[in-house]
Chains A and B, each alone.
Chain A
């Protein structure tokens, strides 16, 4: 669907992006992750044929962005970061205007705008002026204009920026629904968002590719040790709990954490390839220690991101 080879962009002497290589398959929802100024927007602008790359090439649906920009533009829907809309137009009027520009046949313009109004939940505001809508609704209008031409590829630049938590959830749901039938590229620096919505993540920093993988694989790759937390009721026996835990084979370290009265909390580190949860519970039950809670800690995307980005710097 999308093939990017050695894509490079210089802004004068500063590097926008350098030698990006990645591929996106049909039906994927790809997350573009990176700190501000990492080159997310630049990459998107190049893929939408707004900026030409300084070097390298990108193909969208088999069309080169430099040789066949019109074919590429026909196949993409794009929502820029700051959601630029014609604020003086009515929602329906705006959507009909855009669908004409996107080459929707004249007799289908009304149907197309009615379809996106329904898809994006704009029924209640379709007769209102765009400039007077709330930020959340403007964002929806922005997404609506992107899908007017039923594009195979949807490119969204920070689609949840500046929304309140309820609106963010709604927009994410909308993107998930849209991602079922088309390829979506989505940029964000909100990490949980990416792990929720995307099946694959690209992490870039200072214009260079740091990692491409599924959120799960990234997590596994970076697990240097696995951590298990357990909570026990404080009984007379627990004096020996630490010794018991340290005695289990595979445990690297068992540490007692400060806890409220009546309970004890331990953090247990083990080598990543072994899951010790079963052994620990059996052992504790065997020793008749009252186990209240046990869970293994997962690396959040935040940790992965920080780890990758800082590794790259050092």
Chain B
């Protein structure tokens, strides 16, 4: 466990001592801030217009009108930003040869991978925590319900876990960071939009596809529901890709 912690701290230092964490967080916050601004402006416009119609007014609420679309948008920005965060994790070390040295130390694979995964996850959590500013702003001027906001954040955190574990996996396959990043992006996007095919593939298969869809499982979190099924889905996906990473490390030894 000490070795995992040592690797974790080293990786975290890399993120926060170089510009990596600041650039990714900065761009992430700029984009999500812009989304928050435009969604909120639109919500304002609607609420002015519905001031005279009690029926519309009754249906307006900050969760449905602001936070839910915002969560949807943030999940898309994560799709773009997280592969950039994870692509270097192992690929860079493989290219420089430091990974070979690391593997000759008495360190188990799981300690190396675990430390790296957790460091990326921590960086992502810091990034995500900074967006709590938006619901806090809402709290200052209105009275949003905090329950669904927090479940939404839990959902985003779990989506992030999945993306990061995919990123770690692809980074373990190649020594080319660009290849790792693009592959992560591709697979993550695929799981995000896999649900689009649901109406066209027939009953049995559509059920399978919709269970695999990242978006579908995220939906209930954004609504304020924590479903065991959805939590299990993300935990399983994360564990699965981390497992693949361990296998891929093992295979680099006997394949070479």
- Identify which of residues 179-211 in chain A touch chain B, using a CB-to-CB cut-off of 8 Å: none
Known: A70-B106, A73-B106, A103-B106. A78 touches B10 (CB 8 A): no
Which one of B37-45, B95-103, B203-211 contacts A?
B95-103
A49-B24 Cα distance, complex, nearest whole Å: 37
Interface string of B1-42 (1 = CB under 8 A from A): 011001100100010011000000000000000000000000
Cβ of B105 under 8 Å from chain A: yes
Known: A51-B253, A100-B3. A85 touches B98 (CB 8 A): yes
A-B Cβ contacts below 8 A, count: 59
Cβ of A80 under 8 Å from chain B: yes
A117-B230 Cα distance, complex, nearest whole Å: 53
Cβ of A74 under 8 Å from chain B: yes
Note all chain A residues with C-beta closer than 8 A to B100.
45, 50, 80, 84
Q: Is the CB of A84 within 8 A of B101?
A: yes
- Identify which of residues 94-119 in chain B touch chain A, using a CB-to-CB cut-off of 8 Å: 96-108
Q: Is the CB of A50 within 8 A of B103?
A: yes
Q: Is the CB of B105 within 8 A of A106?
A: no
Interface size class of A (residues with CB under 8 A): 20 to 34
Note all chain A residues with C-beta closer than 8 A to B18.
88
B246 to chain A, nearest CB (A): 15
Cβ of B256 under 8 Å from chain A: yes
Q: Is the CB of B253 within 8 A of A50?
A: yes
Note all chain A residues with C-beta closer than 8 A to B2.
100, 106
Cβ of B254 under 8 Å from chain A: yes
Residue pairs across A and B with Cβ atoms less than 8 A apart, 25 shown, are A11-B256, A50-B103, A50-B104, A51-B253, A51-B256, A73-B104, A73-B106, A74-B106, A78-B104, A84-B99, A84-B100, A84-B101, A86-B98, A87-B96, A88-B17, A89-B10, A97-B6, A97-B10, A98-B105, A101-B3, A101-B6, A101-B105, A101-B106, A101-B107, A102-B106
Q: Which residues of A contact B (CB under 8 A)?
A: 11, 45, 48-52, 70, 73-74, 76, 78, 80, 82, 84-89, 97-98, 100-103, 106, 145
Taking A48-B104, A50-B100, A98-B105 as known contacts, 16 extra A-B pairs with beta carbons closer than 8 A to each other, sorted by chain A number, are A49-B104, A50-B253, A51-B256, A73-B105, A76-B104, A78-B101, A80-B100, A84-B99, A84-B100, A84-B101, A88-B17, A88-B18, A97-B6, A97-B10, A100-B3, A103-B106
